Amino acid sequence: MPIIEVRDLSKTYTYHRKAPGLWNSVKSLFKRQTLTTEAVKRVSFTVEAGELVGFLGPNGAGKTTTLKMLAGILYPTTGEARVLGYVPWERKAAYQKQFSIVMGQKNQLWWDLPAMESFLLNKEIYEIPEPQFKETLNELTELLDLHEVLDVQVRKLSLGQRMKAELTAALLHRPKVLFLDEPTIGLDVVAQQKMREFIKAYNQQQKTTIMLTSHYMEDVAALAQRVIIIDRGIIFYDGPLTGLAAKVHEHKTVRMTFTKPVAATDLPAFAHIIERTPTTATVRIPRKDSARRTAEMLKTLPIDDITIEEEPIDDVIRQVFLNHAQPA
């Protein structure tokens, strides 16, 4: 049975538009133009226990809105959802003790207090037994290297340290489901890598079900085997990360090094040249018969070394967005 079940989930926001100027401000007191926008449109998907799913999309796509509904922060306009068998927006205490949400741009820690004070507060809120609290805290602070900063005010921590502390606070009660909204945003390259390593290891060890949003394709490629792509509130891809390139691109990239100079005219007509020197060439060949075409080049060209590559995942997803944005 899936841990997360979403069916035809929608969220519509109502807002008012006012023309600029004092007179229009006065008129708006009596009559305002009311508009609506659909942040999420009839979204449906399921997530199995222990899965780590990348939930991707451009800014304003509906990712965070969806996660907030699954966390019970927002009520949907229409549709259904169950997480761990609970309806999230009913906000039952039994459900709230079994999930966590970490938002990279929001703070749950008390800014002017040491992180340890927030951890102790969470212990009481989630009614965590003392032995479990100590064991989990020691485990998390060891994995995230936080021992030295537990008694430092949160506002004095670096961004990387603060994000680690936010993640620790979210995991103290050992949630079965974890929603991560941009957990590496703003971190430097080293901190991003450490955060990815922790999330991957935690998922594998604890079998926690994780939904991850991120604008960093490195996060997705390192962590998620399955991705759900949403744009303008609509899901238009749900499947394996490895299958995304095949869905979008019809070519593979071949990089070759030659034992002697090769002219551009000596390269076969089916190989579209991306870049070339006398002794190297990078070409694009049709995916559907890449094995046969590669064999032809090995037979006819003085190849010393050859590699065949898929398109970089960030290029693939960018192309997905571009294709989806084009009118049918």
Please say which residue of 222, 245, 268 terminates a domain.
245
Whether 218 and 299 share a structural domain: no
Whether 149 and 294 share a structural domain: no
Q: What pLDDT does 108 receive? A: 84
Q: What pLDDT does 328 receive? A: 46
What are the two backbone dihedrals, phi and then psi, of residue 225, each rounded to the nearest 5 degrees?
-90, -25
In a domain, 314, yes or no: no
- What is the side-by-side order of every strand in the sheet holding 234-240? 99-103, 177-181, 209-213, 52-56, 226-231, 234-240
CATH number, domain with residue 11: 3.40.50.300
In a domain, 34, yes or no: yes
Whether 233 and 293 share a structural domain: no
In a domain, 32, yes or no: yes
What are the two backbone dihedrals, phi and then psi, of residue 320, each rounded to the nearest 5 degrees?
-60, -45
Whether 218 and 269 share a structural domain: no
Whether 235 and 301 share a structural domain: no
Q: What is the 3-state secondary structure (H, E, C) of the chain?
A: CCCEEEEEEEEEEEEEECCCCHHHHHHHCCCCEEEEEEEEEEEEEEECCCCEEEEECCCCCCHHHHHHHHCCCCCCCEEEEEECCECHHHCCHHHHCCEEEEECCCCCCCCCCEHHHHHHHHHHHCCCCHHHHHHHHHHHHHHHCCHHHCCCEHHHCCHHHHHHHHHHHHHCCCCCEEEEECCCCCCCHHHHHHHHHHHHHHHHHHCCEEEEECCCHHHHHHHCCEEEEEECCEEEEEEECHHHHHHHCCEEEEEEEECCCCCHHHCCCCCEEEEEECCEEEEEEECCCHHHHHHHHHHHCCEEEEEEECCCHHHHHHHHHHHHHCCC
The pair of structure tokens assigned to 325 is 């944005």
In a domain, 316, yes or no: no
CATH number, domain with residue 304: 3.30.70.250
In a domain, 104, yes or no: yes
In a domain, 82, yes or no: yes
Whether 117 and 202 share a structural domain: yes
Which residues lie closer than 8 Å to 286 by C-beta, 6 or more apart?
250, 251, 270, 293
In a domain, 301, yes or no: yes
Please say which residue of 194, 224, 245 terminates a domain.
245
Contact status, residue 155 vs residue 77, Cβ threshold 8 Å: no
Give me the domain span that covers residue 106.
Answer: 4-245
Whether 293 and 193 share a structural domain: no
Whether 86 and 235 share a structural domain: yes
Q: Give the pLDDT of the chain (328 residues) as one tens digit per residue.
A: 899 999 999 999 887 777 777 777 777 777 777 778 888 999 999 999 999 999 988 777 889 999 999 999 999 999 999 999 999 999 999 999 999 999 876 778 898 999 999 999 999 999 999 999 999 999 999 888 898 899 999 999 988 889 899 999 999 999 999 999 888 887 888 888 888 999 999 999 999 999 999 877 788 888 998 999 888 888 888 998 877 766 666 788 899 999 999 999 999 999 999 999 999 999 989 888 888 999 999 999 999 999 988 766 666 666 666 666 655 4
Whether 129 and 147 share a structural domain: yes
Whether 144 and 262 share a structural domain: no
> Could you tell me how far CA 151 lies from the centroid of its own chain?
31
Please say which residue of 245, 267, 282 terminates a domain.
245
In a domain, 200, yes or no: yes
Q: What pLDDT does 17 receive? A: 76
Q: What pLDDT does 314 receive? A: 63
Q: What is the Cα Rg of the chain in Å? A: 25
Whether 17 and 107 share a structural domain: yes
Whether 30 and 90 share a structural domain: yes
How many structural domains is the chain composed of? 2
Contact status, residue 203 vs residue 33, Cβ threshold 8 Å: no
Distance CA(232)–CA(235), nearest Å, equals: 9
